[in-house]
Each structure stands twice: as C-alpha cells, then as structure tokens.
Amino acid sequence: MRLFWLYGLLQCLIFIGCPESYAQSVTAPTGLLRWKLHIDNRTSFIPGGNFGMWGGSLGYTWGTLEREVTLGYYWAGSRGKRQLSAISKAEAKQTDAAGYSKTDLYFVSTGYWHILFNEPRWKAGIPIELGIGQSTTTLVLLSGEPLSEKPVEHTLVPLQIGGYGEWKATRWVGLGLQSGYRHNLRPSQSIPSFNGVFFRVRVLVYPQALRDGLAFVFKEKPLPSPFWGDKKKNK
C-alpha cells in the first residue's frame, strides 16, 4: 500500500503539475518548488464550431504571490485537425465552394502570469501569452481528392489573454479554471480562423501531498488530514 501511495503521488506530480505548498499561511516557494510543469488541454469556441489543442509548459515562479513566467508548446493533435477540417468542409458546402482545407498547426508560446492575490484558500491572476508557430494547409475537393500537391505554410502569432482562478480545496489538491480569448495576429484566408474564447480546467496536486506521502512511506508516520482547519489531525 505504501509503494502504491508513493507511485500515485509521483505520477500526479509529473503529469498534472505541482504548484505551491501551503500549510496555514502562504509562503514563498524555494528551490525546485519554484519550477512548475503544466499539461494543458484547451477547448476553444471558434467560428464554425469547437476546437481543442494540447500543450505543455514549464514555468518559474517567484515571491509570495507566485507570479510566473512560462515557456510552452501547443499543437492541434488528431482531434483538433479533424475539427478544423470539419469546420472548413461545412463552410465549403454552405458556400458551394469546390473544396475545403485540411490544416495542422503548432506554436511555441511564452507567458506571464500576473497574480493579483494569493491566499491560503484562493488564488487569482491574469495570464498573458504570446506565441509563434506555423500552420500547414492542404486543399482538397469535397470528394477527398487533393487540389494541390504542395501544402500551404503560414506563420502564426497567437496572443492569448484571460483570467485565472484557483480554489485550494485541500492541502493536497485543488482546482483551477483559466478562460480567455485567443487572437491570431497574422491571419490568413488559407487557414480556418482559430480566434475565439477558450477555457481549461486544471487539477492541481500540491507538493504537500508528496511530503506527507514520503513521510508515510519511509518514516512510517501517520498520514495527516489533508483538510483545512483539522488541526488535531495535522499535528
């Protein structure tokens, strides 16, 4: 059971991300805890339908507010490419166009998370992200036959601005919601627009869960209560 507990904690911290640790007050993170790993899946409401993107980023935080700078990579993925193709195909049928586009896209993104307040139970801020990448578009007939042999490439410069709120439900886990608007600063008629409102839900595992788990596995200490205000069980 102890090994299962440790394995589960490590998997959560690696694949979900590991934000700050809190006890009864907010303190600035130190050492490795300043570095954050984020796995990202964003859903966007773009003209013509929904569009999803996968991504990941590495962040560095500082101070008690834990403002953060990030460097990440985002891509359409197989589902996102199907969604863009379906939108383009539907538009072609409505306008009686001869064909539609199949588009793949990706971009590198830098971000700054301006945290407005960081309390033991709540956190909120304004993330601003600017990226640069490329789209590759192939034009095809409605029957599926290619219209051109060479794909059309286009440079993308997506700007994403929004808001972020985090509820630190327990000392071990929390929930976060980011929502905003994405605007491509270099639009092109050769690709479907992916401007629009986006959102993502985050499940956060805090380092305190790892600390308590390690003490349980290696020092045989009883697991403290993860719930806030349970002082007797947290001693």
Question: pLDDT tens-digit profile of 52-87?
Answer: 999 999 999 999 999 999 999 999 999 999 999 999
- Residue 199 and residue 210 share a domain: no
> Is residue 155 one of the residues assigned to a domain?
yes
Q: Is the dihedral of CA 18, 23, 25, 31 positive or negative?
A: negative
Report d(CA 133, CA 116) in Å as an integer: 30
pLDDT at 29: 61
Q: How many domains does the chain have?
A: 2
User: Can you tell me whether residue 41 is helix, strand or coil?
Assistant: strand
**Confidence class for position 30, pLDDT limits 50, 70, 90:** low
The pTM of this model reads 0.78
Find the radius of gyration of the CA atoms of the chain: 22
- Residue 186 and residue 119 share a domain: yes
Does residue 89 carry a pLDDT above 60?
yes
> Is residue 77 one of the residues assigned to a domain?
yes
> Is residue 3 one of the residues assigned to a domain?
yes
Does residue 6 carry a pLDDT above 70?
no
- Residue 160 and residue 53 share a domain: yes
Average pLDDT, the chain: 84
pLDDT, tens only, 90-119: 999 999 888 899 999 999 999 999 999 999
- Residue 62 and residue 75 share a domain: yes
User: Can you tell me whether residue 49 is helix, strand or coil?
Assistant: strand
pLDDT, tens only, 32-50: 568 888 889 999 999 999 9
- Residue 74 and residue 52 share a domain: yes
User: Can you tell me whether residue 157 is helix, strand or coil?
Assistant: coil
Average pLDDT over residues 122-135: 97
> Is residue 26 one of the residues assigned to a domain?
no
**Confidence class for position 233, pLDDT limits 50, 70, 90:** low
> Is residue 220 one of the residues assigned to a domain?
yes
> For residue 11, what are the domain limits?
1-18+206-235
Residue 31's DSSP bridge partners are none
* Chain CA centroid to CA 138, Å: 28
Q: What percent of the chain has pLDDT over 70?
A: 83
pLDDT at 22: 33
- Residue 10 and residue 53 share a domain: no
- Residue 82 and residue 10 share a domain: no
pLDDT, tens only, 131-186: 999 999 999 998 888 887 789 999 999 999 999 999 999 988 999 999 999 999 99
- Residue 2 and residue 111 share a domain: no
> Is residue 34 one of the residues assigned to a domain?
no
pLDDT at 197: 97
> Is residue 28 one of the residues assigned to a domain?
no
Q: Is the dihedral of CA 76, 78, 83, 89 positive or negative?
A: positive
Average pLDDT over residues 14-43: 60
> Is residue 38 one of the residues assigned to a domain?
no
Which residues lie closer than 8 Å to 71 by C-beta, 6 or more apart? 57, 58, 59, 108, 109, 110, 111
pLDDT at 32: 59
- Element spanning 182, H or E: strand 173-184
